[in-house]
Amino acid sequence: MRVNDLIFDVGLHKGEDTEFYLKKGFRVVAFEANPELVAFCTDRFARDIDAGRLTIEAGAVVNDPSVANVKFYTNPDKSVWGTVAEDWVDRNAHLGTSSAVIEVPAVDFAAALRRHGVPYYMKIDIEGMDRVCLQSLKHVQDRPAYVSIESEKVDRSQLVEEIALMEELGYHDFQAVQQFGIQKRREPDPAREGVLAHHSFAEGASGLFGRDLPDHWVSRDALLDEYDGIFERYRKMGDESWLRRNAVTRVALKALERLTGTPLPGWYDTHARHESVSV
Summarised one tens digit per residue, pLDDT across range 108-121 is: 999 999 999 999 99
* Measured CA distances, 42 to 24, 50, 58 (Å): 20, 10, 10
Q: Could you report the per-residue pLDDT of 263-273, keeping only the tens digit for each?
A: 666 678 999 99
User: What number is the average pLDDT over the span 251-262?
Assistant: 66
Q: Could you report the per-residue pLDDT of 12-24, keeping only the tens digit for each?
A: 999 999 999 999 9
For the stretch 90-95, contacts whose Cβ atoms lie closer than 8 Å and that sit 24 or more positions apart, written own/partner, are 94/239, 95/239
Q: What is the CATH number of the domain that holds 177?
A: 3.40.50.150
The proportion of the chain whose per-residue pLDDT surpasses 90, expressed as a percent, equals 57
- Burial degree of 255 (CB within 10 A; 0-12, 13-18, 19+): exposed
Which of the four pLDDT bands, split at 50, 70 and 90, describes residue 259? low
Q: How many domains does the chain have?
A: 1
User: What number is the average pLDDT over the span 212-216?
Assistant: 95
More confident residue, 102 or 248: 102
**Does the structure show a pLDDT above 80 at 63?**
no
Is 22 within the bounds of a domain?
Answer: yes
**CA torsion through residues 39, 40, 46, 51, sign:** negative
Is 86 within the bounds of a domain?
Answer: no
Reported pTM: 0.87
Q: What is the pLDDT of residue 243?
A: 61
Is 55 within the bounds of a domain?
Answer: yes
User: What number is the average pLDDT over the span 78-90?
Assistant: 58
Is 7 within the bounds of a domain?
Answer: yes
Is 228 within the bounds of a domain?
Answer: yes
Dihedral pair phi/psi, residue 176, rounded to 5°:
-95, 115
C-alpha to C-alpha distance for 110 and 139, rounded to whole angstroms: 6
- Relative orientation angle of helices 156-168 and 220-237, to the nearest 10 degrees: 160
Is 261 within the bounds of a domain?
Answer: yes
Lowest mean pLDDT among 19-28, 67-76, 79-88, 206-215: 79-88
Mean pLDDT rounded to a whole number for the chain? 86
Is 95 within the bounds of a domain?
Answer: no
Which of the four pLDDT bands, split at 50, 70 and 90, describes residue 131? confident
Q: How far is CA 195 from the centre of its chain?
A: 22
User: What number is the average pLDDT over the span 54-78?
Assistant: 81
Which of the four pLDDT bands, split at 50, 70 and 90, describes residue 30? very high
User: What number is the average pLDDT over the span 122-131?
Assistant: 84
Please give the biggest Cα pair distance in the chain.
Answer: 55
Nearest to 162, CA basis, from 268, 83, 236: 268
User: What number is the average pLDDT over the span 54-63?
Assistant: 91
Which of the four pLDDT bands, split at 50, 70 and 90, describes residue 216? very high
Q: Could you report the per-residue pLDDT of 183-200, keeping only the tens digit for each?
A: 889 999 999 999 999 999
Q: Could you report the per-residue pLDDT of 95-106, keeping only the tens digit for each?
A: 556 667 778 889
Supply the range of the domain harboring residue 23: 2-64+105-274
* Residue 249 CB coordination number (10 Å): 14
More confident residue, 203 or 262: 203
C-alpha to C-alpha distance for 141 and 107, rounded to whole angstroms: 20
Beta strands in the chain (DSSP E): 2-10, 27-32, 54-58, 60-62, 69-74, 100-108, 118-124, 146-150, 171-178, 268-274
Q: What is the pLDDT of residue 96?
A: 59
CB neighbours of 279 closer than 8 A, spacing ≥ 6? 173, 273
C-alpha to C-alpha distance for 268 and 184, rounded to whole angstroms: 16
Q: What is the pLDDT of residue 183?
A: 85
Spatial strand order of the sheet with 118-124 comes to 54-58, 27-32, 2-10, 118-124, 146-150, 268-274, 171-178
Looking at residue 140, what DSSP letter applies?
Answer: S
